[in-house]
Amino acid sequence: MPQVKEIFRTMDYGPAPEANQDVIAWLAAKKDGFGHFIGGEFVPSKDGAAFDVFNPATGAKLAQVAQGGKAEIDAAVESARKAFGPWSALPGDTRARYLYALARLLQKRERFFSVLETMDNGKPIRESRDIDIPLVVRHYYHHAGWAELIESEFPNHKPVGVCGQIIPWNFPLLMLAWKVAPALAAGNTVVLKPAEFTPLTALAFAELCREAGLPAGVVNIVTGDGRTGALITEHPGIDKVAFTGSTEVGRIIRKATAGSGKKLSLELGGKSPFIVFDDADLDSAVEGIVDAIWFNQGQVCCAGSRLLVHEAVAERMHAKLKARLETLRVGDPLDKATDMGAIVDAVQLDRIRSLVEQGRTEGAACWQPSIAVPEKGLFFPPTLMTNVAPAATIAQEEIFGPVLVSMTFRTPDEAVQLANNSRYGLAASIWSESINVALDCAARLKAGVVWVNSTNLFDAAAGFGGYRESGFGREGGREGLYEYLAPAWEKKAEEPAPARKVDFSVTPAAETPAVVSGVPRFDRTAKLYIGGKQTRPDGGYSYTLYAANGAAVGQAGLGNRKDIRNAVEAAGKATSWSGVAGHNRAQVLYYVAENLEARTDEFTHRIASLVDGNEDAAREEVAASVRRLAFYAAHADKYDGQVHSTRSRHVTLAMNEPWGTMAICCPDEAPLLAFVSLVAPAIAMGNRVVVVPSPAHALVATDFYQVLDTSDVPGGVVNIVTGDRESLAKTIADHDDISAFWYFGTAEGSKEVEQRSTGNLKATWVNYGRAVRWADAQQGQGREFLRRATQVKNIWVPYGE
């Protein structure tokens, strides 16, 4: 035992172990193994299958847990279905009381859950005690409030139903809270699978559900591995899947759920930039980096794993960082003075080692501090990789470990370019004393969460989720609740969309013109509309459109893969549309409405000739389209974001940002109104669109570009490619430069679109072949369209000294 005066001399830390007897006793009481929590009871697997769970810091076995199979998932889904009716019918304030009770119980057991989480996952007790579990508690309190407010704040919405939720091992109880709390608040029931490495806090939470008197079946927890997860995502009784984990498994789930009508939210991986400008407070930035990449051993989806530092301060920054790393303490996670604990599993440790090795092979310099790292258990030292090329594997791949890769930049433009040079887009951190530089950069980053002069800040009131291959959907805040709600009408709209058969057998575009009264008529084959110009289809072919009575009405261009490519390119270039003020976009949309109204007769005849000859109905459709344009013109500068109430002395800005390039396939019903109802909200929010109109009525859309031309819509904002919607939709779904795709067509087409859009994980909105009553303002217009035309970026700006 060292003497006090020696301690004063060396300033060494003494051991400060957190007591864990309660957890040991709890585990000992379950020595025969944990069952699944189904219908309010703990039940073993039917076939007796089970697996062991270990403490990664010591290698000691902690428990035996049941492996869920088909029988268990069937039973869990059935019990959740049975519970759904009564649970969703409860008044919001009664559901609120249950959530409040869970929050209280968790709060009372904070220490127990912190210790259990640390033993199961290997994370330092300092983090589970001060970050994970308090955030869990906050999440239940916050969502108890939402349960209370759901009816008044989300009118005309319904819970989705039975939710299948699959969570990872890095923040086990926190990820459970992010999924369960909003689901329950909105009136859903759940079947949740925790990660195979870390199921214990979920099972302890199941006990709390019983203690809180939660009705049986509202929460079901089935343990198991990836196969159990797959059984959930594929189960026909599941209405919504919420997943957090790797992008690879996210893709599998997107494919598995395609066409099923299951609502889906994906929170996937990241390679988040940590940008340090030359005017940043470097000492604060160093502390920020420690929290960004060495928090939870770097096993954080939003870890600031790519340091981008201004060239002028890079050397100083690296020197400060190295000095700081020499003071980090790696070791026993249960020791209160430990900064970095254990890696969750040997598989992950091997992955980290091999990626670091690959970095070295590709020419990076690897630096590690000379601090002690335990030889037993799964530990990896904090690591800094410099001399890294932007295209290097370690600069692009998620390492999911305590490894920082560092690169330099010279100008803010270069910083943004490097930051966005990633297939991911989960989070970013910006360090600068200039609010101008920081916010300009924040606006230009492709990331769902941006922290200014801070990092890894979370709160139940703010949405969290990614851009690009980091997934879609948000968790937390108002935006997170929409993932667990559906517009009331969406459930009712069960009638199939009318399908008009179209003959796409090609006819040469330059057909001999018909002769009318002895005079050859000018050929009026409609062209495509790309980049503000009328363009001949690449293939040079057209197809004939017929009236309902079978008479030929005219011809439209038969667009192909190359035309879609050109249209996407044109949309990609029209970026200034996304940058102009909402007011300017509103003016243009009002102008479109005005010009459409001026051509009412022409559009009335066109619609009537292509649909059913009913001129009155067609005239009403034109009038409704004008009104709809005005509706979205009005919204262009009003669908604004929010300042979330997160922490004191923080401004957390939830900004609605356009996707960028969107694609839209229009349905066959209400050809003009549906076209306008889909295009107007998309462009009102600042997107540029590639539109495929209803093939049977394409001439309505090609007439529309005369309206666009005369209304100051900049070239490239609306691009129209006519032709076979189903084959063009495939090309669109495959295209990686399209961020969101709204498809309104057939059931098979919807499935195909969802399946194919996994390449860049574009956000899709499809109708599964069901008709929408476009003339009904509840269905055909509203905030749902605006919400789907945008993605929310949360920017955190702390203030004060």
**Which residues here bind ligand NDP, judged by CB under 6 A?**
166-170, 193, 195-196, 225-226, 229-230, 233, 244-246, 249, 252-253, 268-269, 301, 348, 351, 398, 400
Considering the complex, state which of residue 71 and residue 319 has its C-beta at the smaller distance from ligand NDP.
Answer: 71
Helix axes of 282-293 and 311-325: crossing angle, nearest 10 degrees = 60
Tokens 């200039």 belong to residue: 434
Considering the complex, state which of residue 83 and residue 253 has its C-beta at the smaller distance from ligand NDP.
Answer: 253
Considering the complex, state which of residue 298 and residue 693 has its C-beta at the smaller distance from ligand NDP.
Answer: 298
Nearest distance in Å: CB 188, ligand NDP: 19
Secondary structure (3-state) at 664: strand
Residue nearest to ligand NDP (CB): 229
Considering the complex, state which of residue 322 and residue 351 has its C-beta at the smaller distance from ligand NDP.
Answer: 351
Cα-based angle 129, 132, 135 (whole degrees, multiple of 5): 110
Q: What's the rounded Cα separation, in Å, for the pair 118 and 799?
A: 32
Q: What's the rounded Cα separation, in Å, for the pair 721 and 744?
A: 15
Nearest distance in Å: CB 246, ligand NDP: 3
Please report, for residues 486, 491, 772, 773, the alpha-carbon distance to residue 779 in angstroms, rounded to integers and kept in the order given.
12, 11, 7, 6
How many H helices and E strands in the chain? 30, 34
Considering the complex, state which of residue 424 and residue 704 has its C-beta at the smaller distance from ligand NDP.
Answer: 424
Token digits of residue 394? 């370690």
Considering the complex, state which of residue 53 and residue 718 has its C-beta at the smaller distance from ligand NDP.
Answer: 53
Nearest distance in Å: CB 173, ligand NDP: 14
Active site includes 495?
A: no
Nearest distance in Å: CB 125, ligand NDP: 21
Query: If we measure between CA atoms, which residue out of 452, 434, 451, 428 comes closest to residue 278?
Result: 434
Q: Around 701, how many Cα atoms within 13 Å sit in the side-chain half-sphere?
A: 37
Q: What's the rounded Cα separation, in Å, for the pair 675 and 679?
A: 6
Considering the complex, state which of residue 171 and residue 541 has its C-beta at the smaller distance from ligand NDP.
Answer: 171
Using DSSP bridges, classify how beta strands 61-66 and 50-54 pair: parallel, antiparallel or unpaired: antiparallel
In terms of phi and psi (left: phi > 0; alpha: psi -120 to 50; beta: otherwise), the region of 736 is alpha
Nearest distance in Å: CB 198, ligand NDP: 8
| 544 alpha-carbon distance from chain centroid | 41
| 471 alpha-carbon distance from chain centroid | 4
Considering the complex, state which of residue 348 and residue 406 has its C-beta at the smaller distance from ligand NDP.
Answer: 348
Are 633 and 593 contacting, i.e. CB atoms less than 8 angstroms apart?
yes
Nearest distance in Å: CB 134, ligand NDP: 20
Nearest distance in Å: CB 392, ligand NDP: 17
Considering the complex, state which of residue 642 and residue 757 has its C-beta at the smaller distance from ligand NDP.
Answer: 757
Nearest distance in Å: CB 466, ligand NDP: 9
Long-range contacts of 313-320 (CB under 8 A, 24+ apart): 313/276, 313/278, 313/280, 313/282, 314/406, 314/408, 316/282, 317/276, 317/282, 317/285, 317/286, 318/384, 318/386, 318/406, 320/282, 320/283, 320/286
Nearest distance in Å: CB 588, ligand NDP: 39
Instruction: Pick the catalytic residue from 148, 267, 479, 754.
Output: 267
Alpha helices in 509-614 (DSSP H): 561-573, 576-579, 582-598, 600-610
Q: What's the rounded Cα separation, in Å, for the pair 169 and 173?
A: 9
Query: If we measure between CA atoms, which residue out of 271, 702, 765 comes closest to residue 469?
Result: 271
Q: What's the rounded Cα separation, in Å, for the pair 126 and 341?
A: 10
Query: What residues are labeled active site?
Result: 267
